[in-house]
């Protein structure tokens, strides 16, 4: 009965790793995947995560019973504090409902379906470009997707005017997907002044913000600094949704641990919202897995372990920032042809200006194909490279390839 099925295309991001794995070259380099690597190119399990897991294993009172539909209570409470701040009035007034979901993706999916079922406006605006999964998951959740201008190719920066125009003409009540920090794939974030203008626009038009927070702490190294845009929206007393992921900032990729928070106008609305979220989750996957959320709760609950986490998180963020600097300098050292190629202000300076795990290089799909063919460097065809996949040892190889790609 399935013989008629066509072969589905590989996921554009995960497919990069499939191609990488098939390449026998010893110099191959995978800059496609959005996962942190050490200077030695290895995946990293944080020490504090190992410690938390040890505590969990040693605790014989722990059982493997089902969690409630909304997940682990401590995890939910503490996750809200991580994103909104421990002293957030919305938390103190019990206006926030937080449910544990399957990492960032699952939080977006549950949030999307909750909105499709319970909110009067089905239209969600996502930035152009954005993480590829947004355009796929929201329609499946029952929302209809439109885009708003975001990236400005000539400056490799933000098209702020375009963003304001597009959101100004969105229908009243429309949902707006915002990357809380470290926009993927562009690495381009609004300044705090621009965020304030975005906030005013959304609130004045009654648009509903839905934050995707997949990189808190990864952009600047500070959890609080990276949560600033979200907290500006919560401080004005209005509603918003936030999808949080611990994949990157705790290195818990495969544990699939995240949270969806909905900030409401009052405590009794928050209770009813939670009851509706349960109706979304129960028939989807019944209840979330226990292990990852227990690791996170163990770390967030303990002052020392929390501090240890922030130190390890900052070390990851700092290494990425240092890779930006090293790549920028390596390209500069390779001379003028590159600077001439990009007749934009600052030339390669977008590499050091962009924020977070990714650099949107500006390389086109032919140049990317050339680098893969000739240099065994793998990345998505939009020219996005994961800075976390680089090391001091591999920067020269990448710089050679980029140089050849733009001058060849």
Active site residue ranges: 131, 212, 248
> Which among 219-227, 245-253, 309-317, 394-402 is the span making contact with ligand PMP, rule CB under 6 A?
245-253
Q: Based on the number of CB atoms within 10 Å of its own CB, is 151 exposed (0-12), middle (13-18) or buried (19 or more)? A: buried
- DSSP code of residue 83: H
The three-class DSSP label of residue 36 is coil
Distance from C-alpha of 7 to C-alpha of 315, rounded to nearest angstrom: 42
Task: Closer to ligand PMP by CB, 131 or 360: give it.
Answer: 131
For residue 404, give every residue at least 6 positions away whose Cβ sits within 8 Å of its Cβ, in sequence order, or none.
Answer: 370, 371, 374, 375
Q: Which two tokens stand for residue 294?
A: 């227990």
Q: Which two tokens stand for residue 14?
A: 């995960």
CB 378 within 8 A of CB 20: yes
Residue 242 touching ligand PMP (CB under 6 A): no
Task: Closer to ligand PMP by CB, 184 or 354: give it.
Answer: 184
> Which among 100-108, 277-285, 318-326, 366-374 is the span making contact with ligand PMP, rule CB under 6 A?
100-108
The three-class DSSP label of residue 153 is coil
Task: Closer to ligand PMP by CB, 136 or 282: give it.
Answer: 136
For ligand PMP, the binding residues in 181-200 under the rule CB under 6 A are 184
Distance from C-alpha of 106 to C-alpha of 25, rounded to nearest angstrom: 36
CB 385 within 8 A of CB 211: no
Smallest separation, CB 248 to ligand PMP (Å): 7
Pick left, alpha or beta for residue 63 (phi over 0 → left; psi -120 to 50 → alpha; otherwise beta).
beta
Q: What track of x and - describes contact with ligand PMP for positions 251 through 270 (by CB under 6 A)? A: --x----x------------
Q: Which of 100, 186, 220, 245: binder of ligand PMP (CB under 6 A)?
A: 245
Q: How far are the Cα atoms of 126, 135, 242, 266 from residue 239, in angstroms, in the given order?
A: 18, 23, 10, 10
Cα-Cα-Cα-Cα dihedral of 2, 6, 7, 10, to 10°?
-120
Distance from C-alpha of 408 to C-alpha of 406, rounded to nearest angstrom: 6
Residue 131 touching ligand PMP (CB under 6 A): yes
Task: Closer to ligand PMP by CB, 157 or 187: give it.
Answer: 187
Residue 356 touching ligand PMP (CB under 6 A): no
Longest dimension (CA), the chain: 65
Smallest separation, CB 295 to ligand PMP (Å): 15
Task: Closer to ligand PMP by CB, 76 or 103: give it.
Answer: 103
Smallest separation, CB 260 to ligand PMP (Å): 12
Radius of gyration of the chain from Cα atoms? 22
Distance from C-alpha of 304 to C-alpha of 76, rounded to nearest angstrom: 20
Task: Closer to ligand PMP by CB, 228 or 349: give it.
Answer: 228
Task: Closer to ligand PMP by CB, 31 or 401: give it.
Answer: 31
Distance from C-alpha of 16 to C-alpha of 22, rounded to nearest angstrom: 10
Q: Does the N-terminal peptide bond of residue 129 adopt cis geometry, omega within 30 degrees of 0?
A: yes
Q: What track of x and - describes contact with ligand PMP for positions 60 through 99 (by CB under 6 A)? A: ----------------------------------------
Q: Which of 189, 212, 226, 255: binder of ligand PMP (CB under 6 A)?
A: 212
Q: How far are the Cα atoms of 32, 88, 190, 245, 395 from residue 180, in angstroms, in the given order?
A: 22, 17, 10, 11, 29
Q: Which of 32, 34, 129, 383: binder of ligand PMP (CB under 6 A)?
A: 34
Q: Based on the number of CB atoms within 10 Å of its own CB, is 249 exposed (0-12), middle (13-18) or buried (19 or more)? A: buried
Q: What track of x and - describes contact with ligand PMP for positions 101 through 120 (by CB under 6 A)? A: --xxx---------------
Smallest separation, CB 138 to ligand PMP (Å): 12
Task: Closer to ligand PMP by CB, 32 or 34: give it.
Answer: 34
Smallest separation, CB 258 to ligand PMP (Å): 5
Number of residues located near ligand PMP, criterion CB under 6 A? 13
Contacting residues toward ligand PMP, per CB under 6 A? 34, 103-105, 131, 179, 184, 212, 214, 245, 247, 253, 258
């Amino acid at each position: 009965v399935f013989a008629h099925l066509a072969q589905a295309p590989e996921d554009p991001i995960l497919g990069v790793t499939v191609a990488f794995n098939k390449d026998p070259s010893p110099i191959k380099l995978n800059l496609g995947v959005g996962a942190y690597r050490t200077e030695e190119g290895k995946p990293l399990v944080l020490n504090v995560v190992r410690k938390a897991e040890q505590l969990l294993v040693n605790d014989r009172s722990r059982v493997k019973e089902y969690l409630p539909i909304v997940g682990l209570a401590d995890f939910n409470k503490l996750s809200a504090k991580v994103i909104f701040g421990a002293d957030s009035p919305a938390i103190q007034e019990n206006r926030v409902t937080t449910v544990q979901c399957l990492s960032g993706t699952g939080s977006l999916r549950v949030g999307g379906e909750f909105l499709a079922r319970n909110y009067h406006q089905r239209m969600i605006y996502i930035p152009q470009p954005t993480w590829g999964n947004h355009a796929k998951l929201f329609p499946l959740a029952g929302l209809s997707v439109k885009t708003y201008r975001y990236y400005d190719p000539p400056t490799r920066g933000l098209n702020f005017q375009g963003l304001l125009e597009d959101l100004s003409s969105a229908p009243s009540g429309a949902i707006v997907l915002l990357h809380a920090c470290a926009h993927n794939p562009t690495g381009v974030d609004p300044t705090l002044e621009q965020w304030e203008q975005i906030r005013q626009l959304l609130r004045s038009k009654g648009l509903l913000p839905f934050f995707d927070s997949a990189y808190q702490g990864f952009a600047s190294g500070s959890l609080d600094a990276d949560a600033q845009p979200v907290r500006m929206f919560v401080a004005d007393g209005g509603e918003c949704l936030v999808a949080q992921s611990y994949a990157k900032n705790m290195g818990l990729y495969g544990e699939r641990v995240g949270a969806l928070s909905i900030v409401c106008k009052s405590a009794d609305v928050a209770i009813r919202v939670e009851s509706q979220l349960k109706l979304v989750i129960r028939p989807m996957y019944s209840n979330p897995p226990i292990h990852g959320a227990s690791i996170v709760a163990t770390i967030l609950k303990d002052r020392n372990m929390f501090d240890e986490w922030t130190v390890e998180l900052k070390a990851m963020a700092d290494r990425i920032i240092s890779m930006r600097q090293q790549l920028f300098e390596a390209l500069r050292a390779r001379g003028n042809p590159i600077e001439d190629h990009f007749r934009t202000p600052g030339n390669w300076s977008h590499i050091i200006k962009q924020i977070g795990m990714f650099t949107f290089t500006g390389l086109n799909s032919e140049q990317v194909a050339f680098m893969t063919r000739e240099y065994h460097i793998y990345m998505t065809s939009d020219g996005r490279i994961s800075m976390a996949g680089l090391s001091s040892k591999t920067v020269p190889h990448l710089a050679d390839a980029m140089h050849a790609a733009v001058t060849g």
